[in-house]
Structure 1
């Protein structure tokens, strides 16, 4: 039988492939946006998000292991899934619609969803909750960065 960790990891990886729905034309639009001078960590963002998603998958596996197959656990798995889908959709949808507002909105929806998830996970596992902290810290940074991009590029907001 395949372990829950492998299944959760595979699902997370499959969803991450959604970020490949980016066309060169979309990337060209984003590349021409003015960026804040303090945005020196941009090349590290894919690695940061990879680490965050790994933490999220481990967190989901811990929750699953605590009570596999229960209705609450399935609902929480759905919320983990929703948070990842919203997060992965951020770049392709923002680029496709050429709208920083779309990106900012998705960032806020992801943050609020992750906060709800963390609150729900606390009684199940403190470790699983701690593993969500990187998302809860980094997501507002991404959303604030998008807001700064909107201010520097009002025509693309």
Structure 2
């Protein structure tokens, strides 16, 4: 019995997220929670929901790409690209917190933003819908990256 592509992609997306988040330690979370935030950062409570929506859109984007040409080498390469983008995105919190460096978080955020734009360009000829489903990532990632960068001003010892 073969799994439907949407189920396989969703399962991998969730498993990667769970495994990545398990690497966070209590000290890492305490470090992040004690950081000063810019006064305009009023939407922090919504960030987990925003990223959940972004990951759902990204997974559906991958499903559209897979269904356009299933099992071919170019499609597998794009699936690997989606996985790399997810890993870069999900590594933001544990790597930044473990290194105690907002600059590292800013670099990871910027890397994700660039990778998402390049992925959208790569998948657009295959599926316009897949490219459009990456727009939430493309639009939000710079906001998160800027927010992390702006926090350096409020936490110079954690830059």
Moved over 6 A (4+): none
Q: Does 1:122 align with 2:108?
A: no
- 1:35-54 to structure 2, matched below 5 A, reads 35-54=37-56
Q: Over aligned residue pairs, what C-alpha RMSD do you find?
A: 0.7
How many residues are treated as equivalent by the alignment? Answer: 157
Flag structure 2 segments of 5+ consecutive residues without an equivalent.
none
- Quote the Cα distance in structure 2 between the aligned partners of 1:20 and 1:148: 27
How far apart, in 1, do the equivalents of 2:125 and 2:93 lie? Answer: 33
In 2: Cα distance, 1:13 partner to 1:27 partner? 21
Give the Cα separation in 2 of the matches to 1:106 and 1:19.
16
Aligned to 1:29: 31
- The whole-number CA distance in structure 2 between the counterparts of 1:28 and 1:122 is 41
Distance (whole Å) between structure 1 residues aligned to residue 42 and residue 83 of structure 2: 30
Structure 1 gap segments, 5+ residues each: none
Deviations 1:41-64 (A, max 9, x none): 101111110000000000000000
TM-score, normalization: structure 2? 0.97
User: 1:119 Cα deviation (Å)?
Assistant: 0.3
